[in-house]
A and B are shown apart, each in its own frame.
Chain A
Amino acid sequence: MNIFKSLKRNKVAMVGFGILFLLVIIAIFGPYLYDGSPWKMVQRPFLPPFQDSKFPLGTDTLGRDVLAGLIHGARISLLVGLISTAIALLIGIPLGAYAGYYGGWVDEVLMRFTEIFQTVPSFALAVVLVAIFEPTVYSITGAIAIVSWPPVARLVRGEFLSLRSQEYVLAAKLNGQTNRNIILKEILPNSLSPIIVLASLMVASAILLESSLSFLGLGDPEIMSWGYMIGAAKTVLRQAWWLSFIPGVAIAVTVLSLNLLGEGLNEALNPKLSGNREN
């Protein structure tokens, strides 16, 4: 596979990939290997890190194990990031494909619709959606998907617009293939690489968005997350700065590794294009 070869040559992208791989392992197996609930009081509150070998990262304001919180938080961050991106792709790809393939009034209507979503301040929209539908892991994932699909639709539309007049598409049309077939089997596979790049960057922004929501108190009350940990430690910043510092580093490292991987993929898949997250 060419992609893997050129990705392997890109050291920075491989670092991103390595960190991400580690995080996925932690997210999947961590909660089983590291015994301990992130909610249970296990020690005195405000235990600083590196003091008690049983709780290497110390305890929070209520005496809960910080390391257990980090491990459980990795799971929810990655899960919300991946699933919300998948949903955003499921909304954005068909919309963009129809707009780009059919053009004309279909394009006009779908793109006006997309533009409205792009104008609305996305974080404020996510806040409103999660608040009104009660914060659960489902409403959070859904809200993030709803605010993240417009760039996908625009990207896919652009790809379809430029590919629909290619000779192989015209040949397929002359062959009498249905529009559905042409869209799914002829054009879509050829526009996959920029979609993959965008998706990896979208997972990163979704993780940032999830952490911002739970920081504001809009996290699922049943699930420990990094943003919640920072939000809960906000009032004790002066006394115990490490309680907000540690989960923040976890978020930054995760997002950074996804960005590095995304850029590496971009260089591997579209050597001519320079990376641009905004589209």
Chain B
Amino acid sequence: MSVQTLLYIGGRLVKGAVVLLVIAVFNFFLIRAAPGDPAKVLAGEAGATDEIFLQQLRDQFGLDEPLYYQLWVYVSNLMQFDMGMSYRQQMPVFDLIMERMPATLLLTGTAFLLSILLGVAAGVIAAAYHRKIWDSVITVAALIFYATPLFWLAMMASLFFSVYLEWLPSFGMQSVGEDLTGWQKITDIAMHLILPATTLGLFFTAVYARMTRTSMIETSRLDFVKTAKAKGMKPSRVTTHHVLRNALLPVVTLAGLQAGQLIGGAVLTETVFAWPGIGRLMFEALFQRDYNLLLGVFFISSALVVLFNLITDVIYLIVDPRIELSK
């Protein structure tokens, strides 16, 4: 790696850290902006009557100290991923989140891959049958999925595939009460994963399908494609080797934007399918008015997005070396 590349990655790291710092400060002021005593806000409704606990919180966050000191304590704690305790669950917030992290990473990661694969495939098919029936079917389907609320789609999918057809489980991540191991366990989780991952990814499947279609049609009119056809190349090879490769560029740029959407959408999908991830944790925190936990989940999910953006930036750098390093 050249010095330039390292500087670029270093710059991105600094940028990510600044974003997290700003979110930490934002969280701090949010607690103070909320109506009522900050200690009570942090404790949530259940803990607000326990004076000993409130005092404990005041000590921990330095709430009796001047504001700038409070800010310092809060931000420096957060930067070390110390987010205090969740009163309701009697556990450190960070541990609660980390316990749920693998489930969310599995769900969002699968949804991400599924949406790219399905979306690009649908876009390629629509472009190949431009102005024919398959093109219309895919375009209309993409329009509809683009407009439907994610949580509703998830509910309808579970109604159809779990309740009516009884093909797929609609609840949780593993079958309850069965001590499965090895392959059986993996297939069990995979079966539970299909509905949540597909519905979570469906919005972006629609976005990718539409983008790929437009960009395939545009690229196929360019001169180098005509040349390839004129020299007698097989049409299928022209599509895969010439058109698709170039048409994918705008799709790749969009992939970075998807991280935040997926993490946000996970709150809804995990709520509908009782998927034990951080989205579900956020819903539980909401339900129990456990604001410290809520803000913790918010901070960590932002950190996930920053991390994901960093990874995609580095991947672009490898895939497309033309990217401006100075930027």
Contacts and interface: CB of A to CB of B under 8 A. Distances in A.
Chain A residues touching B, majority SS: helix
B260 A238 contact: no
B297 A216 contact: no
Contacts of B211: 276
Contacts of A124: 263-264, 267, 282, 297-298, 301-302
B301 to A, nearest CB: 5
B143 A259 contact: yes
B199 interface: no
B152 A121 contact: no
Nearest to A218: B286
B19 interface: yes
A204 B146 CA distance: 10
Nearest to B259: A121
Given A120-B305, A127-B282, 11 more contacts: A115-B19, A116-B23, A124-B264, A124-B298, A127-B267, A132-B31, A132-B291, A212-B150, A216-B271, A255-B149, A259-B143
Interface in B231-269: 254, 257, 259-261, 263-265, 267-268
A204 B155 CA distance: 21
A208 interface: yes
A227 interface: yes
A244 interface: yes
Interface stretch (A88-96, A167-175, A245-253): A245-253
Given A128-B295, A215-B149, A274-B214, A121 B159 contact: no
Contacts of B18: 116
Contacts of A116: 18-19, 22-23
A237 to B, nearest CB: 6
Interface of B: 18-19, 22-23, 30-31, 33-35, 41, 143-144, 146-152, 155-156, 158-159, 163, 207, 211, 214, 218, 254, 257, 259-261, 263-265, 267-268, 271-272, 282-283, 286-287, 289, 291, 294-295, 297-298, 301-302, 305-306, 309
Contact of B261 (A121, A211, A238, A260): A121
A21 to B, nearest CB: 18
Contact of A119 (B150, B260, B286, B289): B260
A234 interface: yes
Contacts of A276: 211
Given A244-B152, A248-B152, A259-B147, A127 B263 contact: no
Interface residues of A, number: 44
A123 B156 contact: no
A102 interface: no
A241 B159 contact: yes
A29 interface: no
Most-contacted residue by chain B among A119, A125, A256 (CB, 10 A): A119
A133 B272 CA distance: 25
Contact of B268 (A121, A128, A215, A260): A215
A118 B148 CA distance: 23
A263 B69 CA distance: 51
A255 B203 CA distance: 13
A100 B302 CA distance: 28
B146 A259 contact: yes
A251 B155 contact: no
A124 B108 CA distance: 15
Contact of A204 (B35, B147, B207, B302): B147
Contact of B291 (A131, A211, A215, A248): A131
Contacts of B143: 256, 259-260
Interface in A132-185: 132-134
A217 B306 CA distance: 28
10 contacts: A116-B23, A132-B294, A133-B35, A215-B152, A216-B283, A230-B155, A237-B163, A238-B159, A251-B149, A259-B147
A230 B271 CA distance: 13
Contact of B156 (A204, A248, A251): A248
Contacts of A245: 156
Contact of B144 (A118, A230, A256): A256
Contacts of B268: 123, 212, 215-216
A216 B305 contact: no
Given A124-B298, A134-B35, A217 B286 contact: yes
A121 B260 contact: yes
A251 B152 contact: yes
